[in-house]
Structure 1
Amino acid sequence: MSVEIRVPRLAESISDAVLVEWLRPEGAAVRADEPVATLETDKAAMEIAAPEAGVLRHARAPGDRVVEGDVLARLEPAGPAEVPAVAPEVAPPVAPAPATTAAPAAGEGAGATPVLGPAARRLVEEHGLDPAAIAATGRGGRLLKEDVLRHLGAAPAEPAPGGAATGAPSGSPPVAPPPVMAEAPWATPARAAPTPAPPPSAASPPGSAPVAADAGAGASERVVPMSRIRQRIAERLVRAQHTAAILTTFNEVDVTAVMTLRARLKDAFEAKHGVRLGLMSFFARASVLALAEIPELNAEIRGTDIVYRDAVHLGIAVGTERGLVVPVVRHAERMDFAALEREIARLAGKGRAGTLTLEELSGGTFTISNGGVYGSLLSTPILNPPQSGILGMHKIQKRPVAVDDQVAIRPMMYVALSYDHRIVDGEQAVTFLVRVKERLEDPERMLLGV
């Protein structure tokens, strides 16, 4: 009896998803809990695993739009032909026939052994690697992003034993188009058609000129469909501009005290808590304390009502290959510096690896975005609906400032607060930013909660 693989429950704000790719081909024998497909929602990519072992039969094609409960595939009971697929894991202990068991294992390993997640797959395709040649350390033989990065770090030593065959194709990666996203294979291959034209033409000078012109025209642009996440980002940002009365106020922070405190205690902090002490935890903690004074920035509009929240679910904007994602630190008001740093590091790592869950991306009440990591000196961040506030951090730059009537060179950062003027008054927005500034310039106040 076949078992159906259905679209799981999506987040409450997500209505549908797109089947991006099948991780296992039609008719493949799959193991229980083995990822077989990747779905992309408005917020993240998620893998769908097989509930039990069997033979995979696709019911949908890549690119199909699906909703919760839709049948993606069916698992049929494995017949006698599929039994050897499981045997190689038991066969190695049998000493009499090592050569016989090794042969099926090699053939099977080329197609089934490496189970890749989205992040690992992108790295493998980008660098033209053979997944079977990479040691997998994930559960059930899964190839992790860290495994690929570790392999790349050791890559200069590995081509020598790999043989001339693997060394020669080193020129192939430049030929292939860079697969930035899963949509890269959809780039129009029609431009490959004009290339057979030069060989038939007898006169190379006149024949090559039109081809060169045509190639130049094709090389001047590249059409790539927007990913679902990018479409959703565009929709939300435009909606925020159209529905909210967005206004931005600015201030500047002297981060001398924070940097001095961090330099003095970062080694002891890391030794005790097992996580590095960064700047984000200072800004997060300062924002949480300021939100307690200005609750309007932690509220939202629902219809004709304003909903105030006691809990602070802090969104931290993270740039990834697929676009901007905003994982949420739940109940940031309950966390100390160590807890904030651990949770921020965990979510940021999952965001860059593409493994964030829908729950980790939903329910934020206030957002912090750090454009300074890209060198931004000043910006006006856009609200993340339905939130009413977002704090923008920027690059730390040494500038001359007046300190006690003397000119001093200090590390300064511009900070920006964009807010929904329908809820938040200008006085409240400015007060919030001043409170953040005061706590960052005197960080001991945060330890005392004042």
Structure 2
Amino acid sequence: MTDIVVPKLNANDTTYTLVEWIVPAGATVGAGDPVATVETSKAAEELPSPGDGVLHHVVAVGAECAPGAVLGRLSPSAAGRDRFPAPEPDGAADRDRFPAPEPDRPVITEPALRVMEEHGIAPSAVRALGRKVVRAADLAPLLPPGAAVPGGTDVLPGAVVPLPGTDGSADDPGSGRRLELPAAQRAVGAVVAESHRTVPAAFVAVKVPLDAAVAHAQALTRRYRRLVGVPELLIAAVGTLLATHPLCFARLVAPGVVHIPGSADVGVTIDVGKGLHVPVLRAVDTSPVRDVAAQLMAHRMTALRGTFRAADLTGATIMLALHTDDDVTHAVPVLLPGTSCALSLAGRQTELFLDAGGAVAQRTVVQLGLAYDHRILNGRDAVAFLRDLSALLQHPTDPD
């Protein structure tokens, strides 16, 4: 028998959820064929078969599984596979409360089943959530305000739970509520904590006149019939500086030793209300603006669908944090561990200035910031990189 083992898909999660078996039990698969989908806090990932054989399911859909756990096994023959019993999900005796999964029905975890029973939540309301796997936290929109989780052992986002040593009443001066953060936010917290713990970061920013870039982006949008904005121009400009500012894309591999990548792969922050993601735009150093715009739009659509895969979120050699609401004047990004620089683009501001003739004029400006690993770069290097980016935005060239 050959084991199908759960790989380590990211540095933040200790368990994943088996969302679906792509191939039914008893089917014959070949090496490399996708057989199952597991969900991390950030992405859904298909797992390939490690070899040829007849598939046996060891773990049931909806179960939590840790890296290194055996999800399934491959037998060289159907007879060999039939020696093993079918997997039984946790709480299988309770499945009469909600029928076994069908194509139009979700898998409901045991904590979620308990919450449904406690609050009288109908299965039809749960199906309307549109999730393949329903956890207790997913039921928060169906609970009345202030509802507490049965037993206090499974805390929902927004659920009120008495703090230790209080009776939970409004008159108790020590009362309050405890919130269970979503898995995606916990993953962000782990990355931020690791960054602050391991990277001696510094920050510098420059003010960039933006009128020429805005006009150029509008012209390219009309030409390509595809949205091109200042972020797309900035990402393309970053790619052109790999050769002249290689340390801004470097990764520290040993004390005093860095690895210079062969391509500029830019991670860009995207948050559409489903958690912060940093998908990666590949080979930006060789991509025209139109291709940069296509990549970024594809990532935005994936964020809306919530279907990022681990491969979409790994391998950045530099990061860009977008904080482009007009009332955001500056932003200090967090360095991703394994990178040396993280750019930030803030909101547009309007200011008065003296033009070349000494007359008062109006212009649009933006703050462009850079957090950098002080083990790899110094302030002079960081400012030179920002000034070159500023020049590219102030004097954009026609890509054609």
Shorter-normalised TM range: 0.5 to 0.7
1:439 aligns with 2:392: yes
1:230 aligns with 2:185: yes
Aligned positions of 1:248-263 closer than 5 A: 248-263=203-218
Structure 2 letter corresponding to 1:285: A
1:286 equivalent among 207, 220, 237: 237
Unaligned runs of 5+ in 1: 78-107, 119-124, 137-141, 144-170, 192-209
1:114 aligns with 2:111: no
Please report how far the alpha carbon of residue 394 of structure 1 lies from its aligned counterpart in structure 2 after TM superposition.
0.5
Please report how far the alpha carbon of residue 447 of structure 1 lies from its aligned counterpart in structure 2 after TM superposition.
3.2
Please report how far the alpha carbon of residue 290 of structure 1 lies from its aligned counterpart in structure 2 after TM superposition.
2.6
C-alpha spacing 1:131/1:250, structure 2 compared with 1 (3 Å): same
Structure 2: how far apart are the matches of 1:116 and 1:186?
21
Structure 2 letter corresponding to 1:67: P
Note the aligned Cα RMSD (angstroms).
4.6
3-state SS of 1:350 partner: helix
3-state SS of 1:213 partner: coil
Please report how far the alpha carbon of residue 237 of structure 1 lies from its aligned counterpart in structure 2 after TM superposition.
2.2
Is the Cα contact below 8 Å between 2:13 and 2:40 reproduced in 1? Answer: no
Identity %: 19
Structure 2 letter corresponding to 1:277: V
1:310 aligns with 2:266: no
Please report how far the alpha carbon of residue 44 of structure 1 lies from its aligned counterpart in structure 2 after TM superposition.
3.3
Structure 1: how far apart are the matches of 2:229 and 2:274?
25
Aligned positions of 1:12-411 closer than 5 A: 14=11, 17-20=14-17, 38-40=38-40, 43-46=42-45, 58=59, 62=63, 66-68=66-68, 70-72=69-71, 112-114=102-104, 130=125, 175=145, 185=156, 213=170, 220-224=176-180, 227=183, 229-270=184-225, 275-304=226-255, 305-321=257-273, 323-373=275-325, 375-404=327-356, 405-411=358-364
Please report how far the alpha carbon of residue 442 of structure 1 lies from its aligned counterpart in structure 2 after TM superposition.
1.1
Structure 2: how far apart are the matches of 1:215 and 1:34?
55
Structure 1: how far apart are the matches of 2:147 and 2:221?
43
Is the Cα contact below 8 Å between 2:205 and 2:369 reproduced in 1? Answer: yes
Which position in structure 1 is the counterpart of 2:135?
Answer: none
Task: Specify which structure has the higher proportion of helix.
Answer: 1
Is the Cα contact below 8 Å between 1:30 and 1:50 reproduced in 2? Answer: no
Is the Cα contact below 8 Å between 1:248 and 1:416 reproduced in 2? Answer: yes
Structure 1 letter corresponding to 2:189: A
Structure 2: how far apart are the matches of 1:186 and 1:343?
33
C-alpha spacing 1:323/1:255, structure 2 compared with 1 (3 Å): same
* 1:179-223 deviation per Cα after TM superposition (whole angstroms, max 9, x unaligned): 9xxx864876877xxxxxxxxxxxxxxxxxx996369976x3233
Structure 2: how far apart are the matches of 1:290 and 1:216?
57
3-state SS of 1:417 partner: strand
C-alpha spacing 1:395/1:16, structure 2 compared with 1 (3 Å): closer
Structure 2: how far apart are the matches of 1:292 and 1:221?
52
Larger Rg: 1
Is the Cα contact below 8 Å between 1:311 and 1:331 reproduced in 2? Answer: yes
Please report how far the alpha carbon of residue 300 of structure 1 lies from its aligned counterpart in structure 2 after TM superposition.
1.6
Structure 2: how far apart are the matches of 1:221 and 1:190?
5
TM-score by length of 2: 0.68
TM-score by length of 1: 0.61
* 1:14-37 deviation per Cα after TM superposition (whole angstroms, max 9, x unaligned): 49641347679xxxx999899987
Structure 1: how far apart are the matches of 2:346 and 2:26?
47
Is the Cα contact below 8 Å between 1:4 and 1:71 reproduced in 2? Answer: no
Is the Cα contact below 8 Å between 1:314 and 1:328 reproduced in 2? Answer: yes
Structure 2: how far apart are the matches of 1:363 and 1:74?
30
Aligned length: 339
